Amino acid sequence: MIFLQELVPYKKNYLINLLGEELLDLLFHESICQKKDEDVFTINFVGLIAYKNITISVLPKYSTSQDEKLKFENTIQLIKVFKKYEKANYRKLTSDFYPLNNQSDYNSILGLSDLFLRDFIYFGYYEREISEIIDDGEDEISWEDTISDVTPYFVNKQPFYLNTKNIEYNSDESNVVTVIHQNIIYECYMRYGGLLGYELTNIITPTADFSSLGDKNYLITIIKKEMQVVFNDQQVRILNAMIHYLDVEYVNHKKELSIFGTKRFEYIWEDILKKVFNDQKDKIRKMVSESSWMKYTALWENYINDSIGHSDEYQPDIITVHDDFIMILDAKYYNIKPVENGFKGSPGINDVAKQHIYEAIYSELFKEYSTANALLFPNDDIDNSYKIIGRVNLGLLGKLPIVLYYIKADCVFDTYIKGSKFGEEILAAVISEISAARTRKSITGSSQFQSKN
């Protein structure tokens, strides 16, 4: 496993030695790898890349861990996040997201491996049942054979059969296709099972490996013959996938670049925070009349002279109501770091101005509520789930500063993966911290600065 990090500058020769020129060219073609300077490249992507015998994990730009085991664990968690995101947003994925389960692409070894392992959980190893007629069995009675071969007893001219011929179904364990499937499942699990989030205990170590089964073209021919006598949709799908797996891995060796992840991780970060903070924008929007909404969103027209479009475009990422507070939160995928007298990678003037205007609008529309206003940044190096790192105020637009808030990434990822939301206790604590930080003269141990026009 090779670990790289999003947007970290790498020397060209380092990447060539690590990945090879062939793979590097493919990554350039996908705009995943980009030239920063003549001899410096960056990886503009987060996720998993597989090519031939190379597997790469590209971690987000905020990652700080140098421990290989922790990097691997973070990769597994990210893959779970991406799988959930893909499933929830399948119909509206952008071209910047590389899905795992693209059913039209059987050349992706990551997608094929996930298909095989997911199918295995539900259906186990491929089986073809063989039937046998037996005497007095417990399964389905074969009336044709019973009437033909068994002498009945007649009572009042009605035939009774004290013995029957029954159809017994058994798995054909000698079926070569079953052995092929066992080998494929074993290979996929050993190579990618852990990365794709599978923990299986019933994987069989094949007694006969591929090399002893014969030429791979011959094995493909066997599977195609099997498809001619199988009509179960699930079995047909898995047989078709087996043909592609053998073709890609062993026959034509057309191991194409296999990618699962995104070039726009900020979309993932925003979606996760919306879910865990229980974004209620749509619900709150319906509580306001169109005339009132248009009146107050006119504040935008004063700030953005050339703004066009419907006022719904001017919305914060997250609006959450808790008790008598409205939380106005914006997900920012910045690698922000406190430094002396300010921040490195700090939010821009527009980011801050928009938050002030959001607050002005919602404060007018919902005067009975107090507001908690913050920008949320990912971090993996804090002890708690969240931490205030500073605040920012444009002065002219806002009475109170906007809080800059670290959110521990693995904490929100776990919550998102489970399909959960932050509970009442966490929301109350976040609101309390934000509110206190906005009114204090200083924030102990944190940085603060005044943005200037």
Contact at 8 Å (CB) between 41 and 9?
yes
- Band (pLDDT 50/70/90 cuts) for residue 214 is confident
How far apart are alpha carbons 139 and 246 in whole angstroms?
Answer: 37
How far apart are alpha carbons 300 and 86 in whole angstroms?
Answer: 34
Contact at 8 Å (CB) between 443 and 391?
yes
Amino acid symbol at 322: H
For residues 444 and 110, the model is more confident at 110
Confidence check: pLDDT of 42 > 90: yes
Q: What is the pLDDT of residue 120?
A: 96
Q: What is the pLDDT of residue 311?
A: 47
Kindly state the average pLDDT of the residues 431-444: 78
How far apart are alpha carbons 106 and 111 in whole angstroms?
Answer: 7
Q: Poorest-confidence range of 159-163, 205-209, 397-401?
A: 397-401
Instruction: Look at residues 370, 277, 373 and name the one whose alpha carbon lies nearest to residue 329.
Output: 373
Kindly state the average pLDDT of the residues 259-284: 92
Q: What is the pLDDT of residue 296?
A: 64
Percent of the chain past pLDDT 90, that is, above it, reads 43
Q: What is the pLDDT of residue 147?
A: 83
For residues 168 and 393, the model is more confident at 393
Confidence check: pLDDT of 287 > 90: no
Contact at 8 Å (CB) between 408 and 439?
no
- Band (pLDDT 50/70/90 cuts) for residue 448 is very low
Residue-wise pLDDT tens digits, 49-63: 999 889 999 999 999
> In what helix (H) or strand (E) does residue 154 lie, and over which residues does it extend?
strand 153-155
How far apart are alpha carbons 194 and 16 in whole angstroms?
Answer: 27
Q: What is the mean pLDDT of the chain?
A: 84
Kindly state the average pLDDT of the residues 429-436: 88
- Band (pLDDT 50/70/90 cuts) for residue 288 is confident
Confidence check: pLDDT of 170 > 80: no
Q: What is the pLDDT of residue 172?
A: 61
Kindly state the average pLDDT of the residues 299-327: 66
Find the Cα–Cα–Cα–Cα dihedral 225, 226, 230, 234, rounded to 10°. Answer: -120
For residues 159 and 209, the model is more confident at 159
Residue 354 CB: number of other CB atoms within 10 A?
Answer: 21
HSE, side-chain direction, 13 A CA sphere, residue 321:
13
- Band (pLDDT 50/70/90 cuts) for residue 23 is very high
Residue-wise pLDDT tens digits, 215-249: 888 899 999 998 998 888 999 999 999 998 988 77
How far apart are alpha carbons 47 and 259 in whole angstroms?
Answer: 8
> In what helix (H) or strand (E) does residue 145 lie, and over which residues does it extend?
helix 143-149
At residue 22's C-alpha, the angle toward residues 21 and 28, to 5°, is 85
Residue 230 CB: number of other CB atoms within 10 A?
Answer: 17
Contacts (Cβ under 8 Å, ≥6 apart) of 13: 39
- What are the two backbone dihedrals, phi and then psi, of residue 319, each rounded to the nearest 5 degrees? -125, 120
Kindly state the average pLDDT of the residues 356-368: 85
Q: What is the pLDDT of residue 285?
A: 76
Q: What is the pLDDT of residue 104?
A: 59
Confidence check: pLDDT of 163 > 60: yes
- Band (pLDDT 50/70/90 cuts) for residue 129 is low
Residue-wise pLDDT tens digits, 202-212: 898 988 877 78
DSSP string of 40-65, one letter each residue: EEEE--EEEEEETTEEEEEE-TT---
Region of residue 295 (left: phi > 0; alpha: psi -120 to 50; beta: else): alpha
Q: Poorest-confidence range of 11-15, 116-120, 239-243, 285-289?
A: 285-289
Contact at 8 Å (CB) between 364 and 372?
no
Which of 149-153, 296-300, 421-425 tops mean pLDDT?
421-425
Confidence check: pLDDT of 130 > 90: no
- Band (pLDDT 50/70/90 cuts) for residue 445 is very low
Kindly state the average pLDDT of the residues 283-293: 75
Residue 270 CB: number of other CB atoms within 10 A?
Answer: 19
Tokens 């913050």, located at residue = 374
Kindly state the average pLDDT of the residues 414-430: 91
Residue 172 CB: number of other CB atoms within 10 A?
Answer: 12
Which of 267-276, 319-328, 421-430 tops mean pLDDT?
267-276
Q: How far apart are the first and last CA of the chain?
A: 46
Q: What is the pLDDT of residue 451?
A: 35
Kindly state the average pLDDT of the residues 257-286: 91
The number of angstroms, rounded, from the C-alpha of 140 to the middle of its chain's C-alpha atoms is 45
Confidence check: pLDDT of 322 > 90: no
Residue 339, classed as helix, strand or coil, is: strand
Amino acid symbol at 412: V
Confidence check: pLDDT of 353 > 80: yes
- What are the two backbone dihedrals, phi and then psi, of residue 363, each rounded to the nearest 5 degrees? -65, -35
Domain boundaries, the chain: 2-100+258-262, 109-128+173-251, 130-171, 265-439
Q: Poorest-confidence range of 41-45, 162-166, 377-381, 412-416?
A: 162-166
